[in-house]
Amino acid sequence: MVAFVNSYRCRSSVLLSLQLLESRKQSSEMALVRPDEILTYPSSRIVFNAPFDVRHTYHIKIVNVGDRRIGWRYKNARRCGVDPPCGVLDPNESALMAVWYESSDFEWEQTHNDPQRDNRITIWWVNAPEGATKQFRSEWFWGDIRRKNLAIEYNP
């Protein structure tokens, strides 16, 4: 029984290693072709208006204007929530991303439009591997990543 368990573990680790090598190979192939641009609406900033103790939700439209399928994800500023957090877009396809301000502990002095603070949402995107299903995979982000920053402003 012990030999069977050890043999099973060995085969499992070999399979996992082979899957990891295959996904890295796909990532290196994806890195050969730089991802095309995306469009976002709004294009450069989001403005949260007072009162800040009420949840305000804004929508960002992400459009894949390239000729390849892409995977996208976000990195958000503190105090902001986003839904959905990631996705896959075919050429000329778009997605809506909801962004809201977590209003529980707002302090104007801490969130003022200060250039020293990280008041932005960053959208990352990469080319999906050829033949990949339309299901987001975090391994795709091991290759060449494009980024777009959207500033967040707070209007008292």
CATH number where 119 lies: 2.60.40.10
pTM for the full predicted model: 0.72
- Among the residue ranges 33-37, 68-72, 80-84, 149-153, the one predicted with the least confidence is 33-37
Total structural domains within the chain: 1
Q: Report residue 133 as tokens.
A: 């299903």
Question: With the C-alpha atoms ordered 51, 52, 53, 55, is the resulting torsion angle positive or negative?
Answer: positive
| Predicted local confidence at residue 33, as pLDDT | 75
Compute CA distances 57 → 82, 105, 116, 131, whole Å: 9, 17, 25, 35
C-alpha–C-alpha distance, residues 91 and 123, integer Å: 17
Give the residue-averaged pLDDT of 110-119. 59
* Structural domain boundaries, residue 38: 2-155
Give the residue-averaged pLDDT of 5-18. 52
What percent of the chain lies above the pLDDT cut of 70?
A: 68
Is the pLDDT reported for residue 49 higher than 60?
A: yes
- Among the residue ranges 11-15, 40-44, 80-84, 89-93, the one predicted with the least confidence is 11-15
Residues 6+ apart with CB under 8 A from 45: 150, 151, 152, 153
| Predicted local confidence at residue 69, as pLDDT | 94
